[in-house]
Structure formats: structure tokens, C-alpha cells
Amino acid sequence: MRKNIITVSREFGSGGRSVAKAVAERLGFDYYDQEIIMRVAEESGLAKDVVAEYDEYMSHKNSLLFTLSQSGGGSLYGALSFANMVQMAQTKVIKRLAEKGNCVIVGRASDYILRDREDCLHVFVYANKAFRADRIVNVYGETDKKIENRIKDMDKRRKLYYSSFTGREWGFCHNYHLSLDSSVLGIEGCADMIIKAVETAQ
Amino acid sequence: MRKNIITVSREFGSGGRSVAKAVAERLGFDYYDQEIIMRVAEESGLAKDVVAEYDEYMSHKNSLLFTLSQSGGGSLYGALSFANMVQMAQTKVIKRLAEKGNCVIVGRASDYILRDREDCLHVFVYANKAFRADRIVNVYGETDKKIENRIKDMDKRRKLYYSSFTGREWGFCHNYHLSLDSSVLGIEGCADMIIKAVETAQ
């Protein structure tokens, strides 16, 4: 079946967002990334900065388990943490965007949310640590010297976000149809590979 | 750097071997698969059928831990099980084959053995269970009715083989540069993608 929805999950610093943008431009597809935050805010009734805080990165303080432990486990309202409200609204928003077709959606566990649609190609972009550190400093412009710790922290939080949302393991091939190492294939190269996969997919 | 060595790891039933063969033919590369068993037998001094038994599939009875427990932990000779002798010989054979370049090597943890060579492209081919079950019956000609159990057993044994050999987790994206779902991309499609990656890789 023709894949007219592409989800791109990516490691922080891998350049996955640039890959996704290039693919959308080349295919003439809509591109959904940070504007999802605004849509989720509208859907959930939460403030945009609250949604942004819970968007894709989980600290243990945001987890359902933490909220439950704080509420003594007795309050459903307490248990339904901001994180869960954001996840529920994200699910609705992403399913609605997918209905329109011809789009590239970045992150937000969209591979999981859209797992039952046969018109989706799910892609994961990752890279080795040296490539990521270089991009974080020279492309994203971050100046923190402890770049290794920054990568480690972001990986940990995104992993926790993904597993709490999906029950799946972050970075495991079976979550995706195609996984690409951007440190070997390059940013434009990864975009080429995804276009090729769209042409190839059955 | 030009990738003139391609390793193809694959799930049982995914068609990864057919993908690897097609890539070797199209690139005019040497193709190394089951003949590695004969070379490992020569290298290790073990009989070919013993090597074949320990080739890529581990049962718990083949593990170092099991051998140690049987030998009371006192005998280094006992601890150096057939599985470990096969692994040591496989490492030598695969490194020697890689030295010649321009080749496709199937399985046998070759992605791990050759992890420090920059002229390698490491690929993983996998598929959903329905696609694998169909190939196992209709292409490989197996007639066992409990095909789900067969897949489960093979996955478990290959996972154990890989993790005991490498200390890595089987099926995790970071072990490879490119991972392909053959149930979505097709056998020829996966071959196309690998050729594209060889042209693209930096």
C-alpha cells in the first residue's frame, strides 16, 4: 500500500528533524513538528508552556507512578497527571492529522499512535555520539561543555517518555519499518533513503 | 568512506539471506554464508557437524555458564566449550574474509566482529510474524504446523547466541547502520535500499 504518511522518530542530535523536513519538501507533503504543541494545547485546554514541558521528554517527576505516589493513590484526578493529559491529546491530534494524509510527522510516539494504519512508513533516525555532539554544538548552537551528559540525559528522558507512552522499547528495530544511522548515511542521504523506501514499499 | 564490506544480520524467515545474495550479485561482491561453517571447521579443528550445531543458534546447553556448571567451574578446558571455540574461530575467519574486501557476509555476529572497520555497512533485515510464517512454509518448505512456536524458538536461540557473543541486544538499531522491514519493503526492495545506502554512505 502507498505510504502517504511518514513518521520520523529521532535521537536528539541525530539531525532527524532536518531529514524529516527535507523529505516533506521533496515530496510536497505537510510537515508537522513543533506546531503539534499548539494543537495539543487547544485540544487539552492546557497552557502551551505546560504542553511544551511534557512534550516528548519525561523526567521521573512527570510519570504516572510519581503522581500516584504523591496523591496517595486515592485520587483519579491526581493520577491523571499533566503528562497523561498531554499524551491523550497528542493521540487525538496526531490521528486527526494522519486522516488528512500526505504528511511527515516528527516524533511524539506517532509510530505507536498510528501503528494500525497501513498507509504509514515509520522511520527512526539515530547516530553515533561524536556526530550528535558535533551537531548539538555546531548546528544547534548549544555551548554547554558537558555535551556527553546532555546527550545521556536527553536519551534517558526520551526513552522514558516513549516507554511510558507505548510500553515499547525505544530504539528497537521492530517499532519501525526503516532505521537509519545519519552519522554514516548523512542528512541528505537519509532523506534519499526515505524517498526510496516510499517508492519501494508494498 | 566507501563501504566495500556489507554484513547482513537477519531474523529467521525474513528473507534476509535472499536480500544478501541479491546485493552480492548486483554489486559483483563475494558472498559468504554457509560456507563459513566449513572454514570455521578447518580453523578450529572441530568436525563440520559440530560447528554447524553451534552456528548462530544457541540453546542454554551450549552456553559457557552451562559448561562451567557441568565442569564444577574448575577446568579451563571444560569451560572453553564448543560454543566458545566456534566463536573464536568464526572471529578469525570473518576478519580474514573482510581483509579481502568487496563481499557480503551473512550473520554470525559479523556486525560485531567487524565493528571497528570503517569500510563496513552493517544491515539488519527483519519482518512481521505473518510474512515470516508465510516464507517459512511457502519458500523454505517447512511443514510443521506450529509455525509460531518455531519462530519463537529460533528468535530466542539467535538472541541468546548474539548476546552471549557480543554483549549487545539483538534487534537494537544501534548495532547496525541500516535496518529494513522486508514485510513492508519486499526482498528486492531491501536489496535496492542496501545498494542505495552503499552509494550514499559517507
Cβ(A121)–Cβ(A6) below 8 Å:
yes
Chain B positions touching A177 (Cβ under 8 A) are 180-181, 184-185
Tally C-beta pairs within 8 A across A and B. 86
Q: What confidence score (pLDDT) does residue B27 get?
A: 97
Cβ neighbors of B71 (< 8 A, separation 6 or more) are B78, B79
Cβ(B111)–Cβ(B125) below 8 Å:
no
* pLDDT lower than 70: segments of chain A: 57-80
Interval A48-79: pLDDT, tens: 888 887 777 665 555 554 455 455 544 444 44
Q: Could you please report the per-residue DSSP string of A41-58?
A: HHHH---HHHHHHTSS--
Q: Give pairs for B55-61: CB < 8 Å, separation 24+.
A: B55/B86, B55/B108, B56/B107, B56/B108, B56/B158, B56/B161, B57/B154, B57/B157, B57/B158, B57/B161, B58/B83, B58/B157, B58/B158, B58/B160, B58/B161, B58/B164, B59/B157, B59/B160, B60/B160
DSSP A86: H
Interval B3-36: pLDDT, tens: 999 999 999 999 999 999 999 999 999 999 989 9
CA distance A108 to chain B (A): 19
Q: What confidence score (pLDDT) does residue B55 get?
A: 77
Q: Determine, for residues B189 and A181 on separate chains, whether the beta-carbon distance falls below 8 Å.
A: no
Q: Determine, for residues A179 and B173 on separate chains, whether the beta-carbon distance falls below 8 Å.
A: yes
Q: Determine, for residues A186 and B174 on separate chains, whether the beta-carbon distance falls below 8 Å.
A: no
Cβ(A10)–Cβ(A107) below 8 Å:
yes
Report which secondary-structure segment, H or E, holds A121: strand A120-126
Q: Measured between alpha carbons, how far is A67 from A52 in angstroms, rounded to an integer?
A: 19
CA distance B151 to chain A (A): 15
ipTM of the complex: 0.88
Interval B152-197: pLDDT, tens: 998 998 998 899 889 999 999 999 999 999 999 999 999 999 999 9
Q: Is B118 exposed, middle or buried (0-12, 13-18, 19+ CB in 10 A)?
A: exposed
Q: Collapse the DSSP code of B106 into the 3-class scheme (helix H, G, I; strand E, B; otherwise coil) and give the result.
A: strand
Q: And the C-alpha cell for A5?
A: 504518511
**CB-based contact, B193 to chain A, within 8 Å:** yes
Closest Cβ–Cβ partner in B179, B193, B197 for A173:
B179
CA distances from B159 to A17, B23, B46, B133 (A): 32, 25, 24, 18
Interval B90-129: pLDDT, tens: 999 999 999 999 999 999 999 999 999 999 999 999 999 9
Interval B80-91: pLDDT, tens: 577 788 888 999
Q: Collapse the DSSP code of A81 into the 3-class scheme (helix H, G, I; strand E, B; otherwise coil) and give the result.
A: coil
Closest Cβ–Cβ partner in B176, B193, B200 for A200:
B193
Q: Give pairs for B135-140: CB < 8 Å, separation 24+.
A: B135/B13, B135/B14, B135/B15, B136/B12, B136/B13, B139/B15, B140/B13
Q: Collapse the DSSP code of A139 into the 3-class scheme (helix H, G, I; strand E, B; otherwise coil) and give the result.
A: coil
Indicate whether B59 pLDDT > 70. Answer: no
Q: Measured between alpha carbons, how far is A137 from A134 in angstroms, rounded to an integer?
A: 5
Q: Determine, for residues B171 and A173 on separate chains, whether the beta-carbon distance falls below 8 Å.
A: yes
Q: What confidence score (pLDDT) does residue A47 get?
A: 86
CA distance B183 to chain A (A): 8
Q: Determine, for residues B178 and A171 on separate chains, whether the beta-carbon distance falls below 8 Å.
A: no
Go through B70-102 and write b for each residue having 16 or more CB atoms within 10 A of its CB, e for each that does not. Answer: eeeeeeeeeeebebbbbbebbbebbeebbeeee
Chain A positions touching B197 (Cβ under 8 A) are 185, 189, 193
Count CB-CB contacts under 10 A for residue A138. Answer: 9
The rounded Cα A51 to chain-centroid distance in angstroms is 14
Q: What confidence score (pLDDT) does residue B86 get?
A: 86
CA distance A66 to chain B (A): 29
Q: Measured between alpha carbons, how far is A130 from A91 in angstroms, rounded to an integer?
A: 34
For A194, the closest chain B residue by CA position comes to B193
Q: Measured between alpha carbons, how far is B186 from B180 in angstroms, rounded to an integer?
A: 9
**CB-based contact, B186 to chain A, within 8 Å:** yes
Q: What confidence score (pLDDT) does residue A78 get?
A: 45
Q: Determine, for residues B179 and A184 on separate chains, whether the beta-carbon distance falls below 8 Å.
A: no
